[in-house]
Amino acid sequence: TTLNAVSAEQWNTLAGDANPFIQHGFLLALETANCLENYGWKPKYFLIYSDKNTLIGAMPAYEKTNSYGEFVFDWAWADAYHRSGLEYYPKLVISIPYSPCQGPRILAKNNDSEIKNTLIKFALDFSQKKHYSSTHWLFNLPDDFNLLKQHTKLQRFDFQFHWKNNHYKDFDDFLNILKPKKRKNIKQERRKVTDQKIIIKTLKGNELDEGQWDKIYYYYQITFMKKSGTATLKLDFFKKIAPSLLIIFAYNKEDIVAGAICIQGKDTLYGRHWGCDEEYNSLHFEVCYYTGIEYCITHGLKTFEPGAQGKHKISRGFLPVKTWSAHHVGHPEFSKMLKQHLQHEANAMEDYGVDLLKASPFKP
């Protein structure tokens, strides 16, 4: 299946313009830049057309032969299957590859719940027909998640850390609502960067020259090299989505020494990747957090999602937010076992969430 066969205009009419990851151009760029099948993502788009050949329902799905790039971790599930002599892969995943960002997953004309329910049933029936072990909807919005609970026995949640723009006039206005110790720490971290003669610049993706493209892609790659991961996204992919990119560069004199890749939606900035040539004191916090916050304030964006995990973000103004996933596992005994496991997991996560909120940097 390829999105080349689907009208971009009709797809984006269903998707809306708020979330950049569900856009036709973003998903097609993953395909055409060869970021998917070589790494275990085989597109399987679910589509519903009206009798007038108009797209009225759609869902981006992928047959997966591993669990890489999903950010809702089920490696232990796969291991348990394997130890029981069963095959966990392939499975079906409804998500955006390599993107741990909440957003629309089940698209329907006028947000029609009947169309959405049909797509959910379609996916579950397809999984059974293809003998997939399981079906997974990841990083769902609340309305989709509420529908999915009617069709799936297994639900999970985790926490990310998001910054919210409370109509701040400027960065100092944001700092003023923090506890004094947290405010002082952020000021010190920003001062350390300027004391090292580091200059921060932000550019839109379509403003980059070839040298800057090479540099930011190098930073994307080097992070995976350090962590023994795989740089699945190609330079061509980033160039194809250039208008939605915000690139943050750190300069020492004339030389770029660090950079971050963000993706900008209608009212949200998403931090995705970062890298550096060498370590500078507090530069990571400036490039990945503070510059993004300042950009959101200046440009009136409501939310900054700086990426998955990392409770160190709390002290810098990012508060815990639940992210939701829904799962169907075909094997009845495993499904029953996982349901019990997920109940214990949810109880522990609720306690964890309480502890996280206690660390809030904001004044009471």
pTM higher than 0.95, yes or no? Answer: yes
In a shared domain, residues 133 and 249: no
160-169 pLDDT, tens digit per residue, is 999 999 999 9
**CB-neighbour burial class of residue 193 (10 A; exposed 0-12, middle 13-18, buried 19+):** buried
Is 312 among the domain residues? no
Considering the domain architecture, whether residues 260 and 186 belong to the same structural domain is answered as yes
- Claim to verify: residue 93 and residue 126 sit in the same structural domain: yes
pLDDT digits (tens, 9 = 90+) for 313-352: 999 999 999 999 999 999 999 999 999 999 999 999 999 9
Task: At 101, give phi and psi (nearest 5°).
Answer: -125, 130
Number of helices (H) and strands (E), helices first, in the chain?
Answer: 12, 14
d(CA 330, CA 131): 9
pLDDT score at 1: 77
CATH number of residue 81's parent domain: 3.40.630.30
How far is residue 198's CA from residue 211's CA, in Å, rounded to a whole number? 19
Within 10 Å of residue 188's Cβ, how many Cβ atoms? 10
Tokens of 164: 């919210």
- The span from the CA of 256 to the CA of 269, in Å, is 22
Amino acid at residue number 360: S
202 within a domain of the structure (yes/no): yes
Range of the domain at 121: 3-159+320-358
Domain for residue 233, yes or no?
yes
Neighbours of 359 (CB within 10 A): 13
- Domains contained in the chain, number: 2
d(CA 359, CA 330): 40
Strand pairing partners for 34?
Answer: none
Mean pLDDT score of the chain, rounded to an integer? 97
Per-residue confidence (pLDDT) for residue 229, from 0 to 100? 81
